[in-house]
Structure 1
Amino acid sequence: MPLLHLLPLVDLSLALAIGAALGFFGGLFGIGGGIIAIPLFVLAFAMDQAMAQGTALVLMVPNLLIGWWRYSRKHPVGWRAVLSIALPATLTTWLLAHFATRLDAQLLGHLFCAFLGILSLRLLWQGRGGREPVTGAPLRPAALPLVGVAGGSSMGLLGIGGGLVATPLLSGWLGQRQTVAQSLALALVAPSSLVALSAYAGAQRVDWSLGLPMAIGGMFTVAAGVALAHKLPERRMRAAFAWMLLATALWLALAPR
Structure 2
Amino acid sequence: MDLVGFVLNVVLGLALGTLGGLFGIGGGLIAIPVLGVMFDLDQQVAQGTALVMVVPNVLLAIWRYHQRNRIDLRHAAALGIASFCFAIAGAAVAVSLDAGRMRIAFVGFLVALAVYTLSRVFFRPPSGGTELRHPWPWLGVLGAGAGALGGLFGVGGAVLATPVLTAVFGTSQVVAQGLSLSLAAPSTAVTLVTYATHDQVNWMLGLPLAIGGLLSISLGVKLAHALPERLLRLMFSGFLLLSAVLLAFEV
Which of the numbers 43, 50, 58 marks the counterpart of 1:49? 43
Question: Once structures 1 and 2 are overlaid, which stretch shifts more, 186-195 or 243-252?
Answer: 243-252
Paired amino acid for 1:91 = C
State the match for 1:206 in structure 2. Answer: 201
1:183 is aligned to 2:178: yes
Match of 1:61 in 2: 55
CA contact (8 A) 1:97 1:200 kept: yes
**Match of residue 163, structure 1, among 150, 154, 158:** 158
Q: Do structure 1's residue 243 and structure 2's residue 238 form an aligned pair? A: yes
The answer to whether the 8 Å contact 1:30/1:186 transfers is yes
Alpha-carbon offset, residue 130 of structure 1: 5.3
Does residue 31 in structure 1 map to residue 39 in structure 2? no
What is the count of residue pairs matched by the alignment?
250
Contact 1:133–1:235 under 8 Å retained in 2 = no
Deviations 1:62-118 (A, max 9, x none): 110000011112222322221111101001101110110110111111111111111
Q: Deviations over 1:109-153 (max 9, x none)?
A: 111111111110111112122514323443521210011012101
What is the CA–CA distance in structure 1 between the aligned matches of 2:173 and 2:90, rounded to whole Å?
A: 27
State the match for 2:188 in structure 1: 193
Alignment of 1:1-257 (within 5 A): 8-129=2-123, 131-139=125-133, 140-253=135-248, 255=249
CA–CA separation in structure 2 for the residues paired with 1:87 and 1:17: 34
TM-score for the superposition, normalised by structure 2? 0.96
Residues 126, 132 of structure 1: alpha-carbon distance in 2 compared, 3 angstrom cutoff: closer
- Residue range with higher mean Cα deviation, 7-16 or 199-208: 7-16
Deviation sequence 1:47-69 (CA, Å, 0-9, x none):
11000000000010111000001
CA distance in 1, matches of 2:51, 2:31: 9
1:4 match: none
Cα distance in 1, alignment partners of residues 87 and 120 from structure 2: 28
Q: Contact 2:37–2:246 (CA<8 Å) still a contact in 1?
A: no
- Alpha-carbon distance between aligned partners in 1 of 2:246 and 2:45, rounded to the nearest angstrom: 19
The amino acid across from 2:157 in the alignment is: G
Pairwise CA RMSD: 1.4
Report the CA distance between 1:43 and its aligned residue: 1.2
- Post-superposition Cα deviations, 1:225-244, rounded to whole Å, max 9, x if no partner, equal 10111110000000000011
- Aligned counterparts of 1:86 and 1:132: Cα–Cα separation in 2: 26
Partner of 1:3: none
**Contact residue 36 and residue 250 of structure 2 kept, 8 A:** no
Report the Cα offset of residue 191 of structure 1.
1.4
Q: Supply the AA of the counterpart residue of 2:13.
A: G
Query: Is the 1:152–1:192 contact (alpha carbons within 8 Å) kept by the matching residues of 2?
Result: yes
Which SS does the other structure have where 1:38 is aligned? helix
* Percent of aligned pairs with the same amino acid: 40
Residues 51 and 179 of structure 1: CA distance in aligned 2, closer, same or farther (over 3 Å): same
Rg bigger for which structure? 1
Per-residue CA deviations over 1:2-26 (Å, capped at 9, x if unaligned) read xxxxx71110011100001100110
